[in-house]
Amino acid sequence: MLGSLLTGSTIFGLEFPPIGDIVKWPAAFGEDTPFAFNKIALISIIALIVPATLFLLAGRNAKLVPKGLQNVVETSIDFIEKQVVLPGIGVEGMRYLPMLISMFFFIWIGNLFEVIPTAHMPANARMANPLVLALTAWVMFIGVGVKHNGMKYFKDALFPPGVPKALYLLVTPIEFLSTFLIRPFSLAVRLFANMLAGHILLVTFSVLCITLWSASFLAGVLVLSFPMLVAFTGFEFMVAFLQAFIFSLLTAVYIGGALHPSH
Amino acid sequence: MSALTHAVNTVLQQAEDPADAKAAAAATSAGFAYGLAAIGPGIGIGYLVGQAVQAMARQPESAGQVQTTMFLGIAFTEALALIGFVVFILLKFV
């Protein structure tokens, strides 16, 4: 029984699939090579193409008074500008708007596939996608800091001014860890763990509903568990948006901090 | 804590194979890993959102700014719970 932990486990006739079955997908081609193309890669490419196509279509013949698709796209740009760039960086952060919009839409569309029927797999529930995004944000904020403040950026980040000299012994290692190591790590883990947890939650309730459907008199419990599945699907729809928003907001805050490291 | 050691010891005595014993200990502690990691952030997020709601009720005109800051705070607080979740996955499945 204990050896079956890795191969899924059965509790009261409820068989939960092993973790590999719900996050690993067979490759369509190129198995065991770096070019393996599976469901995650397909979703990532869709998440890349859909917003790009939408923005290109909307911007092809832009009118002064927007309507239709242009209206939708301008609203989304406005949202990122008002909710992410201005609170995170400020007015001088407008030049980073395109990057933050691409980041937001790539994460959001990738996350949305968690609740889209027949797909049911968030692209960001595998560590590779959030890791690359977090490394992009990491390179970005260090690059911005160095570009705008030169080597003084590292001096200000590691030796914050206004601290007694002796305390640098304590402050500098903490600042180094939190700014340059924990920031990208927590950025990646936050997105990854949220999406994986949501995915496992939905899988658990789906498995429960399917098992109850074929259980004789216990099928009555479906009255409780099926509405929960529907409610959690709605909740994950919200989480997909919220995580994309928080990821881009934190990237904006880190860039803003690198622009003005002294405060 | 004694409940944890007791549970681990009980499972350890029942298992014969060392690999099984390791898997059993990992499975037992995995639940504790996430459960304990969720306490702090749970309290923290509750306090944070409560204060944010209070701030928004007192000054409705600054609701937008408070909301953005609240989401930032939640993101930072939540990170610990999520690391606990990752530890759970690592203990249980790896």
Q: Does A193 touch chain B (CB under 8 A)?
A: yes
Q: A–B: how many Cβ contacts below 8 A?
A: 58
Angle of helix A97-112 versus helix A39-60 axis, rounded to 10: 130
The C-alpha atoms of residue A30 and residue A161 are separated, in whole angstroms, by 53
A177 vs B: CB within 8 A: no
Chain A closest CA to B91's CA: distance in Å?
A: 11
pLDDT in tens, A181-219: 999 999 999 999 999 999 999 998 998 888 888 877 778
Using an 8 Å CB-CB cutoff, list chain B residues near A5: 23, 27, 92-93
Please indicate if any CB of chain B lies within 8 Å of the CB of A196: yes
| Subunit contact B79:A186, Cβ cutoff 8 A | yes
**Single-letter amino acid code for the residue at A147:** K
Model pLDDT, residue A110: 94
Q: What pLDDT band is residue A8 in, cutting at 50, 70 and 90?
A: low
Token pair belonging to B75: 């993101």
Distance from CA of A23 to the nearest CA of B (A): 12
Q: Which residues of A touch B79 (CB under 8 A)?
A: 186, 189-190
Cβ–Cβ < 8 Å for A249, A83: yes
Tell me if chain A has a CB within 8 Å of the CB of B83: yes
3-state secondary structure of A16: strand
Confidence at B56, pLDDT banded by 50, 70, 90: very high
Q: Do A197 and B85 touch (CB under 8 A)?
A: yes
CA atoms within a 13 Å half-sphere pointing along the CA-CB vector of A24:
7
CA-closest candidate to residue A231, choices A261, A200, A263, A205: A205
Contacts of B17 in chain A (CB under 8 A): 2-3
Query: Is pLDDT of A5 > 50?
Result: no
Tokens of B45: 């997020």
Report the number of distinct structural domains present in chain B: 1
Residue A229 contacts residue A205 (beta carbons within 8 Å)? yes
- Whether B43 and chain A come into contact, CB under 8 Å, resolves to no
pLDDT for position B15: 55
Q: For residues A198 and A221, give the distance between their C-alpha atoms in angstroms, rounded to a whole number.
A: 22
Give the residue with greater pLDDT, B19 vs B50. Answer: B50
**Domain containing B18 — which CATH number?**
1.20.20.10
Whole-number pLDDT of residue A4 = 46
Give the range of the structural domain holding residue B15, as residue numbers without chain letter. 2-93
The predicted-structure confidence for A125-183, as pLDDT tens digits, reads as follows 989 999 999 999 999 999 999 999 888 888 888 888 888 888 889 999 998 998 899 99
Can you tell me whether residue A63 is helix, strand or coil?
Answer: coil
A189 → closest Cβ in B20, B69, B86:
B86
List, for residues A17-54, the tens digit of each pLDDT value: 888 888 888 888 877 788 888 889 999 999 999 999 99
Instruction: Give the best residue of B82, B87, B89, B90 to mutate against chain A (max A CB count within 10 A).
Output: B82
Residues 6+ apart with CB under 8 A from B77: B41, B44, B45, B48
Whole-number Å distance between alpha carbons of A244 and A111: 8
The pLDDT, as a whole number, for residue A69 is 86
- The residues spanned by each domain of chain A are 2-259
CA–CA distance from B11 to each of A17, A199, B21, B29, B34 (Å)?
23, 30, 7, 11, 19
The runs of H, that is alpha helices, within B1-94 are 2-14, 18-58, 63-93
Which residue type, as a one-letter code, is found at position A161?
P
In this predicted structure, the answer to whether residue B11 has a pLDDT above a threshold of 80 is: no
User: Given CB atoms, is B68 within the 8 Å cutoff of chain A?
Assistant: yes
Q: What is the pLDDT of residue A162?
A: 84
Residue A67: pLDDT band (50, 70, 90) is: confident
Residue A88 has pLDDT above 90, yes or no: no
Confidence of residue B27 (pLDDT cuts 50, 70, 90): confident
Q: Which residues of B touch A248 (CB under 8 A)?
A: none
Nearest Cβ partner of A249 from B71, B78, B92? B71
Residues of A in contact with B15 (CB under 8 A): 2
All residues of chain B having their beta carbon less than 8 Å from the beta carbon of residue A104 are: none
Q: Is the pLDDT of residue A9 over 60?
A: no
Does the pTM surpass 0.80? The reply is: yes
Tokens for A46, please give them.
């869709």
pLDDT surpasses 80 at A13: no
pLDDT confidence of A6, banded at 50, 70, 90?
very low
Q: Is A6 an interface residue toward B (CB < 8 Å)?
A: yes
